[in-house]
Structure 1
Amino acid sequence: MLGMGMTLTLDDLRGAFSMPKEIISGFVLQYSVMPISGFLVSKLLNLPSHFAAGLILVGCCPGGTASNIVTYIARGNVALSVLMTAASTLSAVVMTPFLTAKLAGQYVAVDAAGLLMSTLQVVLLPVLAGAFLNQYFPSLVKFVSPLMPPIAVGTVALLCGNAIAQSASAILMSASSRTISIEVGMQNSVLGVVLATQHFGNPLTAVPCAVSSVCHSVFGSVLAGFWRRSAPSPPKQMQD
């Protein structure tokens, strides 16, 4: 997140607030397409109850912070991505347990204060710090910025690997448009793992969340690499 912030300026973040349509669109899609998809897929495949609950749970989770990294690689709007992640994460205090209870039939408790603090610590504060450094200490940013992408990729790999490792035995047993697409498609799977472990009786409920952590990163990275080959098309009014 600090590396993402170093690609921005404070003016970029202020400019992202001028795009409420995109933020609202991402929010609506995040908490409609993904939860309903998890529910329909679990019904279509007739999954066991613990796998169905896990799949629905991860669909009800907010956008993951890895989406910000993938948006950066895909040359999307990083400032918008960060704001969308923050918005969906803060909203998850209500939306995740509500939707999970409705679709999975079980209530998932979320620590609102802890989730808020995590959002501030993991997303907003590092990005704001990076943007501050980029605006007022550009020479320092120029020196360290080449190191940030590999550090970011390595960190995501470790986090995903950890999520999978915790469920390894169970698994063996059984542009703005670009930004919105990435934000909606990449869930906070690790949050799903934590919630499933703490609030569902069957440990296998965490398996879909752990598997999706890797799938989102792999497919998201492949898509980002494809998009990176071409710059996003400018808005029509700019072309005119």
Structure 2
Amino acid sequence: MLKNFTSLFPLWAVILSAIAYVYPEYFAPHQGLIVPFLSLIMLGMGVTLSVDSFLEVLKRPSVIFLGTVMKYTIMPLSAWLVCLVLRLPADLMTGVILLGCCPGGTASNVICYLAKGDVALSIVLTSVSTLLAFLATPFLTWVFIGQTVEVDVMGMLISVVNVVIVPVVLGLAISYFFEKQIRAVRDIFPAISAAAIVIIIAVIIGTNSANLKQSGSLVLLAVILHNGLGLAGGYLVAKALKLSETEARTLAIATGMQNSGLSVALAIKHFTAVAALPGAIFSIWHNLSGAFLAGHWSKTGVSDIDKKEKSEVPAKVGIYSKKLG
């Protein structure tokens, strides 16, 4: 039952968003729920992780480093390019770039599993980018929009620590010290997180119902382009560096899927309600695009592709050596 609810998250998000769009008066007054609900999501993420998942970093430092660098370069740059091409107004530009400067989202772990990627690697990438967010997100936001919009870097840093880092660390501590008790209820947390993000999206849609009538199609286009550039960029860079198909899929998903809930919370707190709109739309879209991509990739096993790629390396070396000889 809970798994079905979580897997149908995009559907619930679309339904509740449609209701919020038609009846904004029931959702708009509840902006105060956004930050507490996001903290709840982060707490759930911490509880479902384990200390062992972080130890994976020591085993694969180069891939973790690459994935983290890609997350904090490809997505901010893509956001900036999309804003330039579409000539977005200041509030929407702020929202798109803020979204691009956020860490990875937990939904990427589920999509990675469905796409036959490396789930352990995905979890570590999400965790590392989240832990670095308290510095990376405020700094990169300032770099890309500081000349256009006033950015409260210190205020954002404090917000990310309070809303993300503290709940995740608390969740990890609970998972570590109460492992047996948590194990029995661990499956509940993804469903709670899904419900919380659906409510957050509905509140933002309700708050921006009037703005959506004017610029909804433009925001959707910006979100689709941003997400697509992230997914494609992550995959192509990984393949260009000769990583395996499994790693390439994992890095593509980890790069293209954002913690959109964090961008919504930061936008509401430090910018405007309009700036929160790209994050809300992204929450729905990246799950739909991720599910589609996972469905496509799940039909293509990675083991055969990886074996083929490995076998081609010595074969190519043999060809080149004959030519040289």
Smaller-chain TM-score range?
Answer: 0.7 to 0.9
SS at the partner of 1:30?
helix
Matched, 1:53 2:94: yes
Matched, 1:208 2:278: yes
Separation (CA, whole Å) in 2 of partners of 1:130 and 1:199: 32
Shift of 1:208: 1.6
Within the candidate set 137, 140, 154, 1:96 is matched to: 137
Shift of 1:115: 3.5
Shift of 1:27: 0.9
Separation (CA, whole Å) in 2 of partners of 1:94 and 1:71: 26
Separation (CA, whole Å) in 2 of partners of 1:130 and 1:230: 35
Cα deviation code 1:155-210 (max 9, x no counterpart)? 6555544554443332233232222111110111111111111111x432222222
Cα deviation code 1:17-73 (max 9, x no counterpart)? 411121111111111111111111111111111111111111111111111121122
Matched, 1:30 2:30: no
Separation (CA, whole Å) in 1 of partners of 2:175 and 2:186: 10
Shift of 1:225: 1.9
Tell me which protein shows more helix as a share of its residues: 2
Asked if the contact 1:72–1:78 (Cα under 8 Å) also holds between the matched residues in 2, the reply is: yes
Asked if the contact 1:2–1:127 (Cα under 8 Å) also holds between the matched residues in 2, the reply is: no
Shift of 1:237: 10
Separation (CA, whole Å) in 2 of partners of 1:40 and 1:91: 24
- TM-score when normalising by structure 2: 0.58
Amino acid at match of 2:263: G
- RMSD over aligned Cα atoms: 3.6
Compared CA separation, residues 151 and 50, structure 1 to 2 (3 A) = closer
The size of the alignment, in residue pairs, is 233
Compared CA separation, residues 33 and 208, structure 1 to 2 (3 A) = same
Amino acid at match of 2:286: H
Cα deviation code 1:71-105 (max 9, x no counterpart)? 12222222221211111112111111111111113
Unpaired runs of at least 5, structure 1: none
Matched, 1:189 2:189: no
- TM-score when normalising by structure 1: 0.76
Bigger radius of gyration among the two: 2
Amino acid at match of 2:303: S
Match of 1:199 in 2: 270
Unpaired runs of at least 5, structure 2: 1-42, 216-245, 312-325
Separation (CA, whole Å) in 2 of partners of 1:125 and 1:227: 35
Amino acid at match of 1:173: Q
Separation (CA, whole Å) in 2 of partners of 1:73 and 1:183: 13
Matched, 1:233 2:303: yes
SS at the partner of 2:76?
helix
Within the candidate set 92, 97, 103, 1:62 is matched to: 103
Separation (CA, whole Å) in 2 of partners of 1:98 and 1:148: 31
Asked if the contact 1:4–1:68 (Cα under 8 Å) also holds between the matched residues in 2, the reply is: no
Compared CA separation, residues 221 and 150, structure 1 to 2 (3 A) = farther
Asked if the contact 1:108–1:195 (Cα under 8 Å) also holds between the matched residues in 2, the reply is: no
